[in-house]
Structure 1
Amino acid sequence: MKFSFQTTTSYFLSLILITGLFSSCEKSDNPNNLPDVDPSGYTGKIDGYTSSDEIYPANLKAYWSFDDTKNEIKSASAPTSTANDSFISGVKGKAIKLNGGYLYYAKQFDALKTDALKSFTVSVWVQITNNGSKRTMLMQIARPGVFDGSLDFRLNTNSNPASVTDKLGIGPRFSTVGGGSQDNLNANLHPKIGADVWTHLVLTYDSNSGTFKEWANGVDVGSYNNRGVGNNLFKSYEPSEFIIGANYNLIPGKTVTADVSYAAMTGSVDELRIYNAVLPDAHIKALYNLGVAGK
């Protein structure tokens, strides 16, 4: 059979066109033409990070590492007084152990002033046990001469005996712009605790929505997260001071009421961080995962 030059040319042009058509229909593995990812850049990282220090560093405004120092790192502020404290091995480096003790800072931290602290995240690692009799004030942005602080990180260690290690009541509260109080409670979900167990606790507050969350080991455990806006919004009152492990009634010479519901903290604290922003959920989980890995 003979083919003319025109017929042969038309055949090959059609074949090229059909081949190109099928090629254009194949799904590209990189439709946005993104650069290749080097896997070695993620070696040794957890959730994309090599250290907790890499998470929202610009928003970290107060930090206690407890690496052989009781100072707040950002301002280099030493405590005014302490009681029954010592250094131990922590989640990341050293930690502070309190045996019925506290750290008291009679200082107005700039990072905790009214206009500086609207929304926040507080992240901390603790070793704690229940005691069946007294509450524990893990941390307080204290108001001189006032029993309740602007922010009280309360642990209901009074609710169960020390033998109960699968139930810790977390009951933080804050003072409002209207002069009232708002709180939260983990009514249904609880972290594991114990004298030798490190537990990661986080509070977040969004001043735009009035959402006050509490987290334990990377899980949102709060039962009453929506606290309202308007007069219910958080306010960091001035002047303020800062206490770890106690309230004023437990510091000699600072008693403000006859309330005896709290005991100075028996437990350990590490990596206390205060951010002036709400960390996204994934970053809260990253802080937990990094801490578990000692990073």
Structure 2
Amino acid sequence: MKNKSISLQTLLKSVLAILLLLSVFEACKKTDDPVVIPVDKSKLKARIDSATAIYTAAVEGVQVGNYEVGSKATFKNYIDAASIVNGNTAATQSDATNAYANLGVGMTNFAAKRVQEIAAANLILYLKMDGNANDASGKGFNGTLKAGAQPMSATVTSGTTTAAVSWTGWGGSATNVPALTKDRYGVDGKAYTFDKGSNIEIPYNSVLNPAKELTVAMWVRPTRIWDNNYVLSLNRWNGYKLNLQGANKVFMTVKTAPGKIIDKDNDSPTLDVNKWYHVAVSYKSGTMTFYLNGTPVKTWTDVSGDPYAVKSNINMTIGQDLPSNLYNLSTDNDADGNVFYGPWGGFFTGDLDEIRMYNVVLSDTQVKSIYNAEKP
């Protein structure tokens, strides 16, 4: 009986001990600090180091390998934002992951600001206009100074009706050729001024009619606003043309197939008269982009088709829509369906300089680098 009593006491003591342990355990659970899961910032740190090295080595400028002026400051903002997260002890793993991704975006954007070389083969025409109309691209497409269309008469045929008409042309004369003038720097004899159809005529070559892509860039100073301010033309609307319309916006036409003509403008802003602008337009199927002073101002994506291969060997003209001698022809169509009736034409009034043409679409950075290299 005694042994049983001792056993019962021992059992009770054991139960009490277990209960005491359980109470202590519960107390510990309530008072201990929460478990901290370490944040892995190793990938973020490595990307910051890599981005910093790129930033430090980068040089801004307009030469190949340089980065667009002002792009380093933007890139530094990405690096600084990532560094703040990396140094924040309260940052979560989600914060580190997001910072890593955002810095990656900054690195990609900065890489796109690096000036890429434009292959010499892609420059198909370059008129410096430094005292002449010679081509500096190496392709040999030298231009000839031409007078505007002269007063003339023509026989016009429409259906079964033939009639003689006369008109006064542009009011030019045999000596009305482009004249040397001051360029955007104010230097004499380094640009040409155009009016009343005076133009530069460049012999036709299929190289000037790119099969897939096209970029035209030039310095333009309009001195008159009107509907048919033709700056550059290859067979009018049967090839491609660049002109300033009545609203004084840059306007580009590209024919892509028989009966299919793309007409677009830079949307905004309009150009002021008596002011120099760097104008550029690029085209490929799916995209036409307009630039003013190195900045893209409008991109159209509702365009399609490759530039049309013109059938007629009509010379390119700068300052007028067609070679002057073609205005003497009747309304009979050429192989591309062009009409050579003079009053339908137009000419540019103003100054032009540094005309470049490429058979590729230049990147935004490449256009900006040309502008930065040539701006006053």
Instruction: State TM-score, norm by structure 2.
Output: 0.55
- Partner Cα distance (1:27, 1:193) in 2: 50
Corresponding position of 2:281: 203
Please state how far the C-alpha of 1:126 moved relative to its aligned partner.
0.4
Partners in 1 of 2:179 and 2:118 — Cα distance? 29
Which of 49, 73, 93 is the aligned partner of 1:30? Answer: 49
The yes-or-no answer on 1:274 pairing with 2:370 is: no
Q: Is the 8 A contact 1:185 1:224 kept in 2?
A: no
Normalized per residue, the structure richer in helix is: 2
1:76-91 equivalence runs, <5 A: 76-83=140-147, 84-91=177-184
Q: In structure 1, how many angstroms separate the alpha carbons of the residues matched to 2:60 and 2:279?
A: 27
Q: Map residues 1-295 of structure 1 onto 2, 5 A cutoff.
A: 27=45, 30-31=49-50, 48=67, 56-58=118-120, 59-73=122-136, 74-83=138-147, 84-91=177-184, 94-100=190-196, 101-105=198-202, 107-113=203-209, 116-132=210-226, 134-142=227-235, 148-156=237-245, 159=246, 168-187=248-267, 189-195=268-274, 197-207=275-285, 209=286, 211-222=287-298, 224-229=300-305, 233-238=306-311, 239-248=313-322, 251-256=324-329, 257-258=340-341, 260-292=343-375, 294=376
- For residues 175 and 42 of structure 1, do their structure 2 counterparts lie closer, same or farther at Cα, with a shift above 3 Å needed? closer
Counterpart of 2:38 in structure 1 is none
Partner of 2:161: none
Amino acid at match of 1:244: I
SS of residue matched to 1:171: strand
Compared CA separation, residues 62 and 260, structure 1 to 2 (3 A): same
Q: Is the partner of 2:369 in helix, strand or coil?
A: helix
CA contact (8 A) 1:91 1:291 kept: no
Cα deviation, 1:62-105, whole Å, max 9, x if unaligned, reads 11111112122223333345133122232477211113321112
C-alpha separation between the residues in 2 aligned to 1:224 and 1:33? 36
- For residues 206 and 321 of structure 2, what CA distance do their matches in structure 1 show? 21
Deviates more, 1:211-220 or 1:59-68: 211-220
User: What amino acid is aligned across from residue 143 of structure 2 in structure 1?
Assistant: P
Residues 44 and 117 from structure 1, CA distance in 2 versus in 1: closer, same or farther, beyond 3 angstroms? closer
Task: Give SS of 1:140's match.
Answer: strand
Residues 54, 227 of structure 1: alpha-carbon distance in 2 compared, 3 angstrom cutoff: closer
Q: Distance in 1 between matches of 2:61 and 2:257?
A: 47
The 1:237–1:87 alpha-carbon spacing in structure 2 relative to 1, beyond 3 Å, is: same
Q: Which runs of 5+ in 2 are unaligned?
A: 1-41, 70-114, 148-176, 330-339
Aligned partners of 2:44, 2:290: CA distance in 1, in Å? Answer: 48
Structure having the higher strand fraction is 1
**Residues 25 and 64 (structure 1), Cα distance of their counterparts in 2 relative to 1, 3 Å cut:** closer
Q: What secondary structure is seen at the aligned counterpart in 1 of 2:230?
A: strand
Q: Which amino acid aligns with 1:130?
A: R
Unaligned runs of 5+ in 1: 1-23, 160-166
Tell me the matched-pair count. Answer: 244
Percent identity, aligned pairs only, is 19
Question: How far apart, in 2, do the equivalents of 1:44 and 1:274 lie?
Answer: 19
Specify whether residues 80 and 254 from structure 1 end up closer, same or farther in structure 2 by C-alpha distance, changes over 3 A only.
farther
SS at match of 2:134: coil
Q: Distance in 2 between matches of 1:266 and 1:65?
A: 19
Q: TM-score scaled by structure 1?
A: 0.68
2:372 aligns to what SS in structure 1?
A: helix
Instruction: Supply the distance in 2 between the matched residues of 1:44 and 1:216 (Cα, whole angstroms).
Output: 17
Is the contact between residue 193 and residue 199 of structure 1 (CA under 8 Å) also seen in structure 2? Answer: no
Change in CA separation of 1:104 and 1:34 when aligned onto 2, cut-off 3 Å? same
Corresponding letter in the other structure for 1:56? I
Counterparts in 2 of 1:225 and 1:89: CA distance versus 1, 3 Å: farther
How big is each residue's C-alpha offset from its partner over 1:253-288, in whole Å with a ceiling of 9 and x where there is no partner? Answer: 544533525443221111111111111112222222
Q: What is the distance in 1 between the residues matched to 2:297 and 2:62? A: 29
* Secondary structure, counterpart of 1:272 in structure 2: strand
Letter in 2 for 1:64: L
* Alpha-carbon contact 1:153-1:173 (below 8 Å) kept: yes
Secondary structure of the residue aligned to 1:30 is helix
Q: Cα 1:181–1:31, aligned 2, differ >3 Å: closer, same or farther?
A: closer
Aligned with 2:257: secondary structure?
A: coil
CA deviation map 1:189-214 (0-9, x unaligned): 1144222x11111111123x3x1222
